């Protein structure tokens, strides 16, 4: 028989007999039941007001919530504390706390943390090394000690060890790297690193043949490249005959050359260094394609008149006062564009020299 007993502290409700449940009804309709195995079932949603502790004794038991179609809509692993949403989480390394997400089609994503890193990824877990969850590709992103790392792995078998390829790294010193830069050519990569005084770009490749490291495009197609070979670097602009029309020989090159005014000078920012060169605007009438910008051009620049005022917590109390000023919009010169004129002038000079030589030889022969 069933019994109901009370004492100074406890209320005991007992359903006597094997397999008997304790049932809770309202208006003769069952609302909840407690089986002899300890399973509590309700006919609707449960309403709880106040703190609820599950497994306060610390036993190695899992917590699981089912949905109408998903067995593990929410799963908490009793041994590790790792959480699965839509999936029973993999056996992650004990040093990692993980939340693993899954779908009915087998896709999986994970978020994890360790004592010195936090990360996320797709189709991988860690247990004595990183491993595939399903037979598919895998990706991972993590940050540690202020650095950020992105990795990729091609398709592999479930539970097989993963061999990652680093796709991109942002180090805590500001260095950005795609792939793996090698100064010996052992691997391919691109790296940019800035400091308080300079920025440096590095590119490495594993081949020694002609490799186009940079390609430049506009709506007309490719318009230039920077190419390396076994021992040199070439800076190329488009010059294919199929891109040109109205091609005629150069004439009057010597006269145009005489219009150039090569000079010696120093830049204001480098007063102690004298160099050879040209003044851009003096070249523009003779070889305009060699010059960029306009003579005496100016541009408006925003600058800080007064810095922002910060409080002890680094919060802005008073915004910075900004102003505008006119600064030089400097012209530039591509001196390689002078080569055709120099070549044309030299050829004309050579022709004149050869003509004069022939005349002298003729006069001497008389």
Mean pLDDT, the chain cut into blocks of 10 residues (366 residues total):
59 66 81 76 64 77 86 89 91 91 78 93 94 94 95 95 95 91 91 84 92 94 94 93 95 96 96 96 96 96 94 93 96 96 97 96 90
At residue 357, the pLDDT reads 96
Q: Do residues 77 and 167 share a domain?
A: yes
Residue with tokens 């008997």: 20
Does this model's pTM top 0.75? My answer is no
Do 275 and 264 touch, CB atoms closer than 8 A? yes
At residue 109, the pLDDT reads 92
Q: Do residues 221 and 264 share a domain?
A: no
Task: Give a yes or no: residue 140 inside a domain.
Answer: yes
Task: Give a yes or no: residue 309 inside a domain.
Answer: no
Task: Give a yes or no: residue 117 inside a domain.
Answer: yes
Torsion of CA 37, 40, 42, 45, to 10 degrees: -150
Domain count, the chain: 4
Here the tokens at position 141 are 């992103």
At residue 121, the pLDDT reads 94
Distances (CA, A) of 341 to 209, 245, 276, 335: 32, 19, 18, 11
Q: Do residues 74 and 102 share a domain?
A: yes
Q: How many CB atoms lie within 10 A of CB 102?
A: 22
Q: Do residues 4 and 87 share a domain?
A: no
* C-alpha of 144 from chain center: 16
- Cβ contacts of residue 248 below 8 Å, gap of 6+? none
At residue 16, the pLDDT reads 67
Here the tokens at position 223 are 């318009």
Q: Do residues 130 and 156 share a domain?
A: yes
Q: Do residues 145 and 220 share a domain?
A: no
Q: Do residues 260 and 237 share a domain?
A: no
Stretch (H or E) spanning 280: helix 280-284
Q: Do residues 227 and 258 share a domain?
A: no
Backbone angles phi, psi at 269, to 5 degrees: -75, -10
Collapsed DSSP state (helix, strand, coil) of residue 341: helix
d(CA 256, CA 342): 9
Task: Give a yes or no: residue 316 inside a domain.
Answer: no
Q: Do residues 161 and 235 share a domain?
A: no
Do 299 and 331 touch, CB atoms closer than 8 A? no
Q: CA 222, 228, 233: angle at the middle one, nearest 5?
A: 100
Q: Do residues 31 and 72 share a domain?
A: no
Q: Do residues 219 and 288 share a domain?
A: no
Stretch (H or E) spanning 282: helix 280-284
| Cα–Cα nearest to 343, from 263, 261, 250 | 250
- Domain span at residue 233 reads 211-243
Task: Give a yes or no: residue 303 inside a domain.
Answer: no
At residue 70, the pLDDT reads 84
d(CA 322, CA 216): 36
At residue 47, the pLDDT reads 57
Domain's final residue, options 172, 202, 222: 172
Give the length of the chain: 366
Q: How many CB atoms lie within 10 A of CB 156?
A: 19
Task: Give a yes or no: residue 221 inside a domain.
Answer: yes
Collapsed DSSP state (helix, strand, coil) of residue 138: strand
Q: Do residues 65 and 167 share a domain?
A: yes
Do 63 and 47 touch, CB atoms closer than 8 A? no
Task: Give a yes or no: residue 32 inside a domain.
Answer: yes
Do 31 and 44 touch, CB atoms closer than 8 A? yes
d(CA 200, CA 150): 22
d(CA 318, CA 109): 44
Task: Give a yes or no: residue 28 inside a domain.
Answer: yes
């Amino acid at each position: 028989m069933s019994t109901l007993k009370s004492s100074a502290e406890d209320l005991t409700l007992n359903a006597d007999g094997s397999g008997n449940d304790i049932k809770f009804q309202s208006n003769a309709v069952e609302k909840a039941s407690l089986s002899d195995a300890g399973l509590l079932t309700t006919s609707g949603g449960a309403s709880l007001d106040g703190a609820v502790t599950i497994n306060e004794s610390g036993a190695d038991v899992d917590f699981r919530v089912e949905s109408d179609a998903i067995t593990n809509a929410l799963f908490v692993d009793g041994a590790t504390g790792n959480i699965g949403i839509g999936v029973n989480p993999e056996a992650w390394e004990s040093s990692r706390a993980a939340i693993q997400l899954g779908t009915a089609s087998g896709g999986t994503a994970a978020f994890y943390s360790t004592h010195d890193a936090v990360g996320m990824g797709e189709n991988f877990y860690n247990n004595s090394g990183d491993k595939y969850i399903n037979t598919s590709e895998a990706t991972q992103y993590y940050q540690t000690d202020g650095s950020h790392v992105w990795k990729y792995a091609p398709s592999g078998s479930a539970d097989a060890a993963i061999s990652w390829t680093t796709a991109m790294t942002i180090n805590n010193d500001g260095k950005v790297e795609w792939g793996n830069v090698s100064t010996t050519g052992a691997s391919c990569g691109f790296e940019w690193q800035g400091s308080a005084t300079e920025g440096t770009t590095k590119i490495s490749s594993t081949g020694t043949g002609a490799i186009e490291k940079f390609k430049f495009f506009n709506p007309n197609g490719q318009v230039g490249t920077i190419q390396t070979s076994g021992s040199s670097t070439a800076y190329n602009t488009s010059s294919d005959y199929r891109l040109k029309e109205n091609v005629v020989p150069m004439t009057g090159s010597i006269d145009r050359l005489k219009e150039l005014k090569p000079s010696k000078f120093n830049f204001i920012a480098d007063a102690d260094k004298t160099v050879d060169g040209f003044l851009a605007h003096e070249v523009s009438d003779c070889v305009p394609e060699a010059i960029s910008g306009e003579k005496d051009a100016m541009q408006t620049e925003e600058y800080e008149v007064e810095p922002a005022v910060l409080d002890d917590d680094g919060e802005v109390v008073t915004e910075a006062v900004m102003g505008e000023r006119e600064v030089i919009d400097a012209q530039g010169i591509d001196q390689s564009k002078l080569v055709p004129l120099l070549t044309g002038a030299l050829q004309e000079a050579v022709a004149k020299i050869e003509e004069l030589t022939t005349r002298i030889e003729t006069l001497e022969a008389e």
